Amino acid sequence: MEISKELFERVPAEEKNLNRIVRPSETYWQDVWRRLKANKLAMAGLFFVIFITVLAIVGPWFSKYDYRTQDFSIANMSPSAEHWFGTDQFGRDLFVRILYGARISLTVGYAVSILNFTIGVLYGGIAGYVGGKVDNFMMRIVDILLSIPSTIYVILLMLIFDAGLTSIIIALAITSWVGMARIVRGQILSLKQQEFVLAARTIGASSTRILLRHLIPNSMGPIIVTLTLAIPSAIFSEAFLSFIGLGVSAPMASWGVLASEALQGYQLYPYQLFFPAGAISLTLFAFQLLGDGLRDALDPKMRK
């Protein structure tokens, strides 16, 4: 058969582009952000978290009250224009005390999760990557640590350290990284079987490089989700420890301390309990929403 020129047709311009990828190309993180933005609840959580963090940092500078000056003439005032959240039994402005409390509670939350991240990721990463006996040994230690209720160590550790912010952070960090280590190890175990790791090893990349440059960045999704959920749990543990009297010492007060102090007179002055308890609940709620949204956004299977 002769192929004549007539058999050919010029492709119209619009069809030329048919093979092009329909969606604009975007990186993984752009994609995550796009999907997170679509999740209204998660965005509300994110904004609240940013809002309360900024407020905790700058808020106290703009107030004429401080957290420790007592004035008995204005003790136990109900919320008013002068004192937004009222005053406590020593006449201290409750709004300012809650802002200072936010500093403490959020510092604990963030600091514990950073330590948690560092220890947990390295420990889990090494266990998962090296594998074998080392993995077995390292994970049994984790099992032992997990089998003892963390409140017990925290209280025991608090006996060794003096009560205070630093020791709370250390005590909580020491006990909270095990969950993270398990998740990271699971991720690494499945990732290290994949071809890109083999490729990296073939061209002679060192173990450290493979771990830090390939494996851990690829397990970032679950890590970040665990992290967002670790922050509220640290805040809550601190509130609980302060509530039972192991927290920061007076007149500094975290949200837990504020709630605990308000409990003495909650039947007469319920607002003194309501505001710090509300602050704890809202913040925990916001972090939970954000964490939940991030989990969906980071999960490749949920991609649309």
Partner 1 sequence: MRKRGVKLTTLVLALVFALGLLAGCAKGGGGAAQVIRYNLGAEPKTLDPALNAAVEAGTIIENVFEGLMRLDEKDRPIPGVAERYEKSADGLKYTFYLRKNAKWSDGKPVTAKDFEYAWKRALDPNTAAEYAYQLYYLKNGEAYNTNKATADQVGVKALDDYTLEVTLEAPTPYFLSLMAFPTYMPVRKDIVEGNSNWATKPETYIGNGPFKMTQWLPKDKIVIEKNENYWDAKRVKLAKVEMRMLEDATAALSAFRSGQLDYIESPPSQEVPNMLKSGEAQALPYLGTYFYEINVSDKAASVNPAAAKVLKDARVRKALSLAIDRKALVDNVLKGGQTPATTFVADSVVVDEKGNRFKTKDYYKPEGDVAEAKRLLAEAGYPDGSGFPEITITYNTGTGHQNIAQAIQEMWRKNLNINVKLENQEWKVFQVTRTQKQYLIARGGWIADYNDPMTFLDMWMSNSGNNDVGYNNPEYDRLIAAAKKEADPAKRVSLLHQAEDLLMKDMPLIPLYYYNNIVAIKPYVKGVTKSQLGFVFFDTGYVQK
| CA dist list (Å): 159 to 77, 145, 155, 247, 248 | 37, 19, 6, 12, 13
Whether the CB-CB separation of 210 and 219 falls below 8 Å is answered with no
Write the DSSP assignment of 188-210 as a string of letters: HHHHTTSHHHHHHHHTT--HHHI
Does 238 sit near partner 1 (CB under 8 A)? no
Give the one residue of 22, 267, 303, 304 binding partner 1; rule: CB under 8 A: 267
Give the one residue of 62, 250, 301, 304 binding partner 1; rule: CB under 8 A: 250
Rounded to a whole number of angstroms, the minimum distance from the CB of residue 104 to partner 1 is: 16
Rounded to a whole number of angstroms, the minimum distance from the CB of residue 75 to partner 1 is: 6
Give the one residue of 85, 269, 275, 287 binding partner 1; rule: CB under 8 A: 269
Rounded to a whole number of angstroms, the minimum distance from the CB of residue 231 to partner 1 is: 28
Rounded to a whole number of angstroms, the minimum distance from the CB of residue 73 to partner 1 is: 9
Rounded to a whole number of angstroms, the minimum distance from the CB of residue 239 to partner 1 is: 17
Find how far residue 91's CA is from the centre of its chain.
34
The count of residues interacting with partner 1 (CB under 8 A) is 21
Here's the x/- map for partner 1, 49-78, by CB under 8 A: it reads as -------------------xxx-x--xx--
Does 270 sit near partner 1 (CB under 8 A)? no
Q: Is the peptide bond before 251 cis (omega within 30 degrees of 0)?
A: yes
Class of residue 298 by CB neighbours under 10 A (exposed 0-12, middle 13-18, buried 19+): buried
- What is the DSSP secondary structure assignment for residue 10, as one 8-state letter? P
Does 163 sit near partner 1 (CB under 8 A)? yes
Pick the closer one to partner 1 by CB: 110 or 266.
Answer: 266
Interatomic CA distance for residues 240 and 92, integer angstroms: 23
Residues in a beta bridge with 87:
93
Interatomic CA distance for residues 98 and 277, integer angstroms: 10
Pick the closer one to partner 1 by CB: 226 or 242.
Answer: 242
Rounded to a whole number of angstroms, the minimum distance from the CB of residue 158 to partner 1 is: 12
Pick the closer one to partner 1 by CB: 88 or 238.
Answer: 88
Does 251 sit near partner 1 (CB under 8 A)? yes
Here's the x/- map for partner 1, 115-154, by CB under 8 A: it reads as ----------------------------------------
Closest CA to 233 of 301, 303, 150, 137: 150
Interatomic CA distance for residues 277 and 263, integer angstroms: 11
The SS3 assignment for 219 reads: coil
Give the one residue of 141, 245, 270, 282 binding partner 1; rule: CB under 8 A: 245
Does 266 sit near partner 1 (CB under 8 A)? yes
Structure tokens at 82: 């002068």
What value, to the nearest 5°, has the Cα angle with vertex 78 and ends 62 and 261?
85
Give the one residue of 79, 186, 221, 265 binding partner 1; rule: CB under 8 A: 265
Pick the closer one to partner 1 by CB: 22 or 268.
Answer: 268
Name the site residues for partner 1 (rule: CB under 8 A): 68-70, 72, 75-76, 89-90, 163, 245, 249-251, 261, 263-269
